[in-house]
Amino acid sequence: MKVKLTKIFRFEASHRLDHLPEGHPCRHMHGHSYQVIVEISGQVNPDTGFLMDYGDMKDIVKPIIDELDHKHLNDVEGLNITSAVYLARWIWEHIKPQMPLLSRITICETGSTSCEYEGE
């Protein structure tokens, strides 16, 4: 049986989008209450009844989220542009090696905006 599982993580952080033109509101420092939705997909293991244990997902993702929580994203190594798009890719690159079933990262900056990243 093929399924998709999701687990939601949250963190608070500030950032600036320095590459945007003067006058753009996102060029100034501001913050978000981010929601990160991690999705995996694949075949359920008939012996366990799981695709992956949610606890194992948390063990892989939470240290990455902790690196971002209450931080200024412009100071995070390797995150050169701090938009939701690049943040999704940065998180993907940090968890994909440990989570081969990763199929999507969704970053929600606000209640009405989000970015979905499914790898290259």
Residues annotated as part of the active site: 26, 70, 109
Contact 113, 84 (CB under 8 A): yes
CA distances from 80 to 37, 55, 77, 87, 110 (A): 22, 31, 8, 9, 21
